A = this chain, B = another copy of it.
Amino acid sequence: MTSIAMIEAAALRLAGRARRTPLLSSPFLDAIAGRRVWVKAECLQHTGSFKFRGAWSAVSALPAKARARGVIAFSSGNHAQGVALAAQMHAIPAVIIMPADAPALKIDNTRALGAEVILYDRAHEDRDAIGAHLSEDRGLTLIRPYDDPQVIAGQGTMGLEIAEQAAAEGITHADVLVCCGGGGLTSGTALALEARAPGLRARSAEPAGFDDAARSLAAGAIRRNASLSGSICDAIVTPEPGQITFPILHRLCGPGLVVTDDEALQAMALAFLRLKLVLEPGGAVALAAALFRRDEIAGNDVIAVASGGNVGAAVFVQALARFG
């Protein structure tokens, strides 16, 4: 299980590798939210999302011999790029298994970061079988996207930074809203805050219709999403909270927050206008919750994690056209 000692050890391994991302604010956002809004700009992390933290943490924690054989991941998105870059920086092989219908840009980006991309046919092939075969054949270690103690520890390093940055701003009590998929970033952040900023409380933010974390927290047990497609916030849609992450969320997090796709797009337009940040829809749901769920949040300050910015021009233009 991930402990604060593991998170702090991950922070040492990440020092000089991951960026320490800034905590930004704007009086215009404060006016909308009715309180001070602080945005942890994790979209500025290497590869455009927080995922590099967990990937680097997990890869760097492997025994040297296993690491040298290489790593493998299943992902068409931010986790793929995080693992690819972490492997490239370690000069080890990375195999990323992606659906053949993934956007060309994501495939190209992952390849450009030095990974071997293996495409599979979603309809007719079993990606787990492909992965198992490759792993055995080449001795690759699987890097899971969230349900892995060292991945959670890596994401938790963002929580350490928030604890320090909040203290520097004099913020002792606040909700910390985290864009939540499988719960790796939310649980890691919650553990870091528990130890280093006990007045700060992590809370999950999710898109409506894909609010497995909020419903699981309310029920006290894991609940699945009815569907896995149809949200513009695709980067943070997962079947259900992880077996390792959920007990942490359940013990430490406040009630989950839920926003609509339109609210996520509006938060993107406001981040463009007021913060000069590019956010992807799934990376904007925490900011959307901070801005548009004021009655569900207490206190004079709220911290929203802007977890990623890997959005194509078409979706970004849509956000600006509707809300810019």
Binding site for B on A (CB under 8 A): 19, 21-22, 24, 27-28, 31, 41, 43-44, 48, 109, 112-113, 269, 272-273, 275-279, 309, 312-313, 316-317, 320-321, 324
Contact = CB atoms under 8 A, between A and B. Distances in A.
A269 B105 CA distance: 14
Nearest to A283: B276
Task: Name the 7 nearest CB pairs between A and B, nearest first.
Answer: A313-B324, A276-B309, A313-B320, A276-B278, A43-B276, A317-B317, A48-B276
Given A19-B22, A317-B321, 5 more contacts: A22-B22, A22-B44, A27-B112, A28-B109, A44-B277
A316 B272 contact: yes
A91 B24 CA distance: 22
A42 to B, nearest CB: 10
Q: How many copies does the complex hold?
A: 2
A253 to B, nearest CB: 27
Contacts of A48: 276
Contacts of A276: 43-44, 48, 277-279, 309
14 contacts: A19-B24, A24-B44, A28-B109, A41-B44, A44-B275, A44-B276, A44-B277, A48-B276, A276-B278, A276-B309, A313-B320, A317-B317, A317-B320, A317-B321
